[in-house]
Amino acid sequence: MTGAVAGRPIVIGSGIAGLLTALCIAPAPVLLITQEGLGGQSSSALAQGGLAAAMGDDDTPALHRADTLSAGAGLCDPVAAGLVADAAPAGIAMLSRFGVVFDRGTGDALTLGLEAAHSRRRIVHAAGDGTGHEIVRALTEAVRATPSIMVLEHTSAEQLLLRDGAICGVLASGRAGRFVLPGRSAVVATGGVGGLFEDTTNPVECWGRGLALAARAGAVLADMEFIQFHPTALASENRPMRLVREAVRGEGAVLIDETGHRFTEALPGAELAPRDRVSRAVARHLAEGHSVFLDVRERPGPAFPEMFPAIAGFCRAAGIDPVRDPIPVRPAAHYHMGGIAVDEQGRSSVQGLWACGEAACTGLHGANRLASNSLIEAAVMARAVAESIGAQPAQPLVSPEGIEPQRRADPAAIRPIVSRGLGLIRDRDTLSHAISLLSGLAAGDDAALVGLMMAVAAHDREESRGAHCRRDFPQTNKHATRTMMTRSEVFLRARELGSEMGALARSA
């Protein structure tokens, strides 16, 4: 590796979090590595709705913070929520400076959308429902135009290298094989864990590799059990599953089954009840053997293709004419509230390791994410991470203590286990079964390790809260706190649970 590369901060991932962190570190030298080409598979590029920021005359960061805390079902970190809400307008301004063209109305004012559980219009968007695509386009162009950002495409991070408990480089693999990138700071920006579920709106390549890397380096992970499911993904074999946005239900579309029965009518708020409740109602109805459809034929009616051209387009590509036929839907894993525990500067518990975006857990989302809070969190935290890295004193490069042999990572084998054990409605039996299967694999397989961390956290949260619903513990425990865990604690707990299960089986 040339001297020009060695020693730069290493940013892993090229969604909004990775691209923007690299841009904020510049003009200082920085290295960005990403497993795809720039602009390739990421959840960022798929985002439709937008970014939440208190920009309207009737809005304040305090109201945005209050809505965030209310969605998070008592487990948000109020400091993180205040920090992100306060900095959100500046985050939008920064994205504009980097070339993102947001939708604007008269007098150049930003057009602000309204989404469920927001008390004000505060959703900033671009290209209608093409916000993510526009963000990735603009930031990718900006990265390519910044000489101090060196980009290694088609390069995966495989191990975070340590010396005396601190980061000293990243082991990467690319078309030329495995190689060491020396550096004293690394940023994990590898996105969420949706790719570990059979039904997901995330790219299947985004299954949480960065969380496994951080866990193996000794980092603390937080709130791993909280997965947000989206109730209305188009039921088809395509992955990622396409999202039929809440806005369609906002325009009057209803959920029906094969008999035409509107089975969510009794829920408070019906189809517009909170996302987790609608998802669970759909999952229950499917589990009872029904089919579920979103019916747009009456409302929005014939105007649907004009109002939602992208959704109408992918429905037609799947052979469904939404004006004439109900759209088959089912819930899909959509967003991970948990991740690598970080402080308000994006620092993990490992010296020299930062995390940003969906891979990180600032505590902003608590047990349930407020819609459109993730892109803005990534934008706000990218700047915080860059400032924190910039404030570090220079440190000499050192060689790593150990390089592990190439590890397995077989998300395809783990998907059925995670999908069954960690679905929308969980219980001790299904979680214990998942833990017993995953603990045999997790020492050697990164995908199994991520699944095991989620399953142990979900097993030990004996309550229902936000996105975490336990059939056997339907109540919320008012004394429950956030989950914090390291890899060794997870293995220890899985062993304890294994012995308990063995004892139970012997006594049965």
Residues 6+ apart with CB under 8 A from 461: 225, 468, 470, 480, 483
Token pair recorded at residue 352: 């020299």
Q: Is 243 in the site for ligand FAD (CB under 6 A)?
A: yes
Q: Is 358 in the site for ligand FAD (CB under 6 A)?
A: yes
Q: How far is CA 191 from CA 62, 70, 210, 388, in A?
A: 28, 24, 8, 20
Site string for ligand FAD, 17-36 (x = CB under 6 A): xx--------------xxxx
Q: How many residues does the chain have?
A: 508
With CB under 6 A as the contact rule, the residue among 25, 46, 139, 449 that binds ligand FAD is 46
Q: Minimum distance between the CB of residue 212 and ligand FAD, rounded to whole angstroms? A: 9
In terms of Cα–Cα distance, which of 99, 72, 98 is closest to 85? 72
- Bridge pairing between strands 327-336 and 227-234: antiparallel
Token pair recorded at residue 191: 């996105």
Token pair recorded at residue 423: 């679905």
Which strand ranges, in their side-by-side order, compose the sheet holding 177-182?
Answer: 156-163, 166-174, 177-182
Q: Minimum distance between the CB of residue 241 and ligand FAD, rounded to whole angstroms? A: 8
In the complex with ligand FAD, which residue's Cβ is closer, 31 or 431? 31
Q: Minimum distance between the CB of residue 476 and ligand FAD, rounded to whole angstroms? A: 25
Q: Minimum distance between the CB of residue 303 and ligand FAD, rounded to whole angstroms? A: 22
Closest residue to ligand FAD using C-beta atoms: 15
Q: How far is CA 314 from CA 134, 297, 302, 317, 432, in A?
A: 19, 17, 17, 5, 38
Do 471 and 425 touch, CB atoms closer than 8 A? yes
- Bridge pairing between strands 227-234 and 51-52: unpaired
CA atoms of 122 and 119, how far apart (whole Å): 9
Tell me the window of 13-21, 91-99, 253-261, 481-489 that interacts with ligand FAD (CB under 6 A): 13-21
Residues 177 to 206: which contact ligand FAD by CB under 6 A? 189-191, 201-202, 205-206
Q: Of 65, 122, 209, 275, which residue is the catalytic one?
A: 275
With CB under 6 A as the contact rule, the residue among 7, 72, 91, 132 that binds ligand FAD is 132
Tell me the window of 47-55, 288-296, 426-434, 461-469 that interacts with ligand FAD (CB under 6 A): 47-55
Q: Minimum distance between the CB of residue 322 and ligand FAD, rounded to whole angstroms? A: 18
275 is a catalytic site residue: yes
Q: Is 354 in the site for ligand FAD (CB under 6 A)?
A: no
Q: Minimum distance between the CB of residue 89 and ligand FAD, rounded to whole angstroms? A: 15
Active site residues: 275
Give the footprint of ligand FAD on this chain (CB under 6 A). Answer: 12-18, 33-36, 41-44, 46-51, 131-132, 156-157, 189-191, 201-202, 205-206, 209-210, 243, 335, 357-359, 372-375, 378
